[in-house]
Structure 1
């Protein structure tokens, strides 16, 4: 005979587990020759997500890739090939700074904030380093980074 108490407990556990797994979201970032922020851009250039969310980089236009430049400690980096759509799941909180290697001089860069900006200082140094090597769009990455709250 099944009593109501164990059945209720089992139902609660199943609801909690199903809601935990359904919280992760999938986001899309397009790699474009032209977008709202000018030429050679990731769109959106700044994205705030939660730990466990998945990001899909779409090769909307040719000759782009997505390569992580700075990631939080113990987080996985990524490096997509030219014209490759790549999907990454970001589990660690912090700021992820990424670039398109062929178009770095044009400051084709972006920022993903996952939860709290735990590596703010390291990300800020990365923003400055990448901006220093750009020949155009010098304020683009700094503008994205200004959306990250100072901890």
Structure 2
């Protein structure tokens, strides 16, 4: 079963206050959809719920960073097991994490496994804002930042076994799939210096 769990911290207070009026307090409010391209609303801040922690306690966190005129994900490549969750943390600037899935903003190609669920955090503008996605289908997932796609802000997640992508996404370079699997993570600095 495909799943993605997140709550919107900005909307939570309003939802709690309006539970009786708007009926938004049902237990299923945090469940994601099974649509191939998941587009959020205008809410900016998301945080992972406690239900998607890694069994081995490892942190699968990717920082979204603006550093002068550099915009990047760190690590740029991360390997996880099927069923694992990655959490993107907006450390500085305004960024999104958006899967290469036709139908997502600025994506003309699909670069995730065929049966996989896409995602789109929309642009996170607040420092410390997070977005999480659970990966249930093995393979390679390429993604980008909507505001900085043209500046080559791209990343890669490999879930279990690589898909066999022999090239980079159309908007920038990422580490080779097997390199990510062998290392577990490839930092932005390691990739730039390699």
TM class, shorter-chain normalised? Answer: 0.5 to 0.7
How far residue 23 of structure 1 moved from its aligned partner, in angstroms, is 5.1
Alignment of 1:92-111 (within 5 A): 92-111=137-156
How far residue 93 of structure 1 moved from its aligned partner, in angstroms, is 0.7
Query: Is the alpha carbon distance of 1:22 and 1:85 closer, same or farther for their aligned partners in structure 2, counting shifts above 3 Å?
Result: closer
- The residue number in structure 1 matching 2:87 is 56
Which residue, out of 99, 105, 120, partners 1:79? 120
Alignment of 1:33-44 (within 5 A): 33-34=66-67, 39-44=70-75
Distance in 2 between the 1:117 and 1:25 partners?
A: 20
Aligned residues: 113
Conserved 8 A contact 1:24-1:52: no
How far residue 24 of structure 1 moved from its aligned partner, in angstroms, is 7.9
Distance in 1 between the 2:85 and 2:132 partners?
A: 7
How far residue 81 of structure 1 moved from its aligned partner, in angstroms, is 1.4
Conserved 8 A contact 2:84-2:134: yes
Q: Which has the higher strand share?
A: 1
Conserved 8 A contact 2:78-2:180: no
Q: Which has the higher helix share?
A: 1
**Offset from partner CA, 1:16-72 (integer Å, 9 cap, x none):** xxxxx935855100100139xx81010000101110110001111121110011211
* Secondary structure of the structure 2 residue equivalent to 1:47: strand
Q: With structure 1 as the length reference, what TM-score do the two structures score?
A: 0.65
**Offset from partner CA, 1:62-97 (integer Å, 9 cap, x none):** 211100112111100000111152100011110000
Q: Which has the higher contact order (CA 8 A, sep 6+)?
A: 2
* Secondary structure of the structure 2 residue equivalent to 1:105: helix
Query: Pairwise CA RMSD of aligned residues?
Result: 2.4
* Secondary structure of the structure 1 residue equivalent to 2:60: strand
Q: With structure 2 as the length reference, what TM-score do the two structures score?
A: 0.52
